[in-house]
């Protein structure tokens, strides 16, 4: 349904995760689902759940959300290398 990118905020000089709906999948139903998911996650507070800081629609009509970026530990990076 979507893709997550590592992005750099030029004004704040910080990295963040950017989740976007794939352009081919954008319609009213997927936008409502995406928005509902972001709002639900933003309302939760748990160490195992990433926080969502913002939600919007890009000029290209692609919905996006900004979840908190979690850095991987050395072990998590190593596990990812092994499984890929």
Over residues 63-68, mean pLDDT? 61
Over residues 69-73, mean pLDDT? 59
Tens of pLDDT along 35-60?
898 899 889 988 888 888 788 877 66
Q: Burial, 65: exposed, middle or buried (Cβ in 10 Å; 0-12, 13-18, 19+)?
A: buried
Residues constituting the chain: 84
The strands making up 63-67's β-sheet, listed across from edge to edge, are 2-9, 14-21, 63-67, 52-57
Structure confidence at residue 56 (pLDDT): 80
Question: Which fold is adopted by the domain 2-83?
Answer: Phosphorylase Kinase; domain 1 (3.30.200)
Domain segments of the chain as ranges: 2-83
**pTM of this prediction?**
0.64
25 within 8 A of 15, measured Cβ to Cβ? no
Structure confidence at residue 4 (pLDDT): 84
Q: What is the dihedral of CA 79, 50, 25, 81, to 10 degrees?
A: -10
Inform me whether the pLDDT recorded for 70 exceeds 70: no
52 within 8 A of 70, measured Cβ to Cβ? no
């Amino acid at each position: 349904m979507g893709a997550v990118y590592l992005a750099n905020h030029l004004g704040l000089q910080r990295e963040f995760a950017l989740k976007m709906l794939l352009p081919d999948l954008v319609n009213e139903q997927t936008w409502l689902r995406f928005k509902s998911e972001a709002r639900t996650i933003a309302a939760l507070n748990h160490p195992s759940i990433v926080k969502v800081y913002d939600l919007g629609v890009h000029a290209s009509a692609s919905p996006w959300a900004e979840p908190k970026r979690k850095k991987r530990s050395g072990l998590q990076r190593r596990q990812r290398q092994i499984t890929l």
